[in-house]
Structure 1
Amino acid sequence: MSGRPEKTPQDWWATGIIEMRPGHIAMRGYAIEDLIGRVSYAEMVYLMTRGELPGREAAALLEAALVAAVDHGPQAPSIAVARIAATCGVGINNAMASAINTLGDVHGGAGEQCVALYGEIAAALPEGEIDPEALHRAAGEAIDALAARGIRHVPGFGHRFHPLDPRAPRLLGLVDRAAEAGTVTGRFAAIARAVEAVLAARKGKPIPMNIDGATAVVFAELGFPPPLCRGLFVLSRSVGVLAHAWEEMQSGERNKGPIPRHLIWSYTGQPARPVPKPREDQDEASTH
């Protein structure tokens, strides 16, 4: 025996998130019937993950970030997987789960990584007003630290399709407006712009912030810890996944692979060669 008291059945899944008994449901202390119709989905996400309801302005920022990342077309692996799975006869939940399970460190993890990067830079800066020189120095040191770990692509910056990701300036503008209103500090927006400036100076060309870098600004300004930020991206992208899976289900296609049927992939293996004869055949041939 460990000496610790045994948990009762009631304490086995003890939680501070929901209270539920016959005729009663409450989330973080708020009766569900009082939340319904009064609280937006973004506010509910904030309440469930952070424990308190956000102000309307903070909720609007979170909602903007969730809206911005819902979809990026079938070239995005998560969307492509949803559509492929939908043609295999699985249910819509299976198609969605297949897609969401592709959201890892490379596809879907940059937002979390970028929030962590911003946090490292913020930790190296003094509290209060940020000196531009100190800000750029801290940003450069953080980028150097990534390079020292073998990370060549700074998460949240640059895009293989968009010379300028159209979602990023819009989100940054909303953060600026919220900072002017005192809803957020604007500290992480300044950090993100410093990273962008350092990258441009080092590369000799603009490396603009992408959707992950911009949503990371929003999440960091709102105080979300990095691991939660990947979950927020999953919530956002799930909307696009759902829409694409459902659309593909209406197409009537079956077993739709990643390339059209009339195309054959490039084979890079051994040239045509004969199968070796079984050893017993070789032994028999050697006796004649």
Structure 2
Amino acid sequence: MSGDRTRDEAEAWWSTAIIAMRPGEIRLRGHDVRDLIGNVDLVSMIWLMTRGSLPRPEEARLLEAALVAGVDHGPQAPSIAIARMAITCGVGINGAMASAVNTLGDVHGGAGEQALGLYERIIAVSDALDGDVEAAAQAVIAEEKAAGRHYMPGFGHRFHPLDPRAPRLLSLVDRAVAEGVVAGRHAQAGRAVEAVLARGREKPVPMNIDGITAIVYGELGFPGPLARGLFILSRSIGILSHAYEQSLEGARNKGPLPRAMTWRYTGENGFDEGGSGGAGGEA
């Protein structure tokens, strides 16, 4: 009896509805892995593992489109730059990827989750305003500004006057709405934010990749934390690609600046003008 109780306690230590396993058999969310292999695509597996059921094909296509859109934005993105620098330090592909993923926080990587939260607040307020989404967006944005938050997550971009990924994805959402795949309420909220932010401005503040992928994930029923996780999954593809490419160059200890350039020293007793701001060694 004592042995049975000990085993029960051990088995209950980690309880999960995700996987069942015993010698010679693996079941994922109740599906035999042998039935999944070769029959279910990776995007549908992401849905199955995070949501507990397989998506409809049209849902999987929309999710895949959002994942494709977010894979990379070049070495100017901190996560990509860090992956490339880390691989030159000899940490290996896993260390480079982990270093990069660990930078995807609230500022770089978390805006999609924040935008989804913004949309859902707007949807809730619009329900109280008999469906007036733009009035709801105006009210929520006013609350944000009153709290000192003048940046709306998911809108505006440092490099793109118009993020080329947003209109394409939004058109796919519109198609999914027309086909009855999704309801379109998050898309309405996103467009309302864009309209409110454009008022009184010469240049609009258009939706960016975080704003549009938040629409997709919200329309498909993913909660905020999973929206961030899905972005990280997507961006990990770019991180892997850049880390591997950098590894082929054979560079060692590649820093954020070319070796001939150094940083600006702002303290006392620096070098004369025109001198070096710091040493260029490998340490």
TM-score using structure 1 length = 0.89
2-side partners of 1:22 and 1:146: how far apart? 54
Partner residue, 2:111: 110
Q: In the alignment, residue 209 of structure 2 is paired with which amino acid? A: I
Secondary structure at the aligned position of 2:27 is classed as: strand
- The structure that has the greater radius of gyration is 1
1:204 Cα deviation from its structure 2 partner:
4.0
Tell me whether 78-87 or 264-273 shows the greater mean CA deviation: 264-273
Partner residue, 1:100: 101
1:149 Cα deviation from its structure 2 partner:
2.4
Post-superposition Cα deviations, 1:158-192, rounded to whole Å, max 9, x if no partner, equal 00100000000010000000001100011111110
Partner residue, 1:268: 266
Partner residue, 2:206: 208
Pairing 1:7-86 to 2, within 5 Å after superposition: 8-86=9-87
Partner residue, 2:218: 220
Contact conserved, 2:26 with 2:32, CA < 8 A, in 1?
A: yes
Partner residue, 2:145: 147
Post-superposition Cα deviations, 1:45-89, rounded to whole Å, max 9, x if no partner, equal 111111111100011110100000000000000000000001001
1-side partners of 2:51 and 2:144: how far apart? 29
- Report the RMSD for the aligned CA atoms in angstroms: 1.7
Contact conserved, 2:154 with 2:212, CA < 8 A, in 1?
A: yes
Gaps of 5+ in 2: 272-283
Q: Report runs of 4+ in structure 1 exceeding 4 Å deviation.
A: none
Gaps of 5+ in 1: 274-288
Post-superposition Cα deviations, 1:9-61, rounded to whole Å, max 9, x if no partner, equal 11110100001111111110011111111111111111111111110001111
Counterpart among 232, 255, 258 of residue 256 in structure 2: 258
**Does residue 120 of structure 2 align to residue 122 of structure 1?**
no
1:205 Cα deviation from its structure 2 partner:
2.5
Secondary structure at the aligned position of 1:19 is classed as: strand
Partner residue, 1:284: none
- For the structure 1 residues 198 and 92, does the alpha-carbon distance in structure 2 shift closer, same or farther, using more than 3 Å as the test? same
1:124 Cα deviation from its structure 2 partner:
1.2
Pairing 1:183-194 to 2, within 5 Å after superposition: 183-194=181-192
Q: In the alignment, residue 195 of structure 2 is paired with which amino acid? A: A
Counterpart among 242, 245, 248 of residue 247 in structure 1: 245
Contact conserved, 2:44 with 2:60, CA < 8 A, in 1?
A: yes
Secondary structure at the aligned position of 1:206 is classed as: coil
Partner residue, 1:88: 89
Partner residue, 1:278: none
1-side partners of 2:177 and 2:41: how far apart? 22
Partner residue, 1:283: none
Partner residue, 1:236: 234
Q: In the alignment, residue 115 of structure 1 is paired with which amino acid? A: L
Aligned length, in residue pairs? 266
Contact conserved, 2:126 with 2:135, CA < 8 A, in 1?
A: no
Q: In the alignment, residue 48 of structure 1 is paired with which amino acid? A: M
TM-score using structure 2 length = 0.91
Q: In the alignment, residue 49 of structure 1 is paired with which amino acid? A: T
1:142 Cα deviation from its structure 2 partner:
1.2
Post-superposition Cα deviations, 1:135-168, rounded to whole Å, max 9, x if no partner, equal 1110011111221222221000000100000000
Q: In the alignment, residue 260 of structure 2 is paired with which amino acid? A: H
2-side partners of 1:236 and 1:151: how far apart? 28
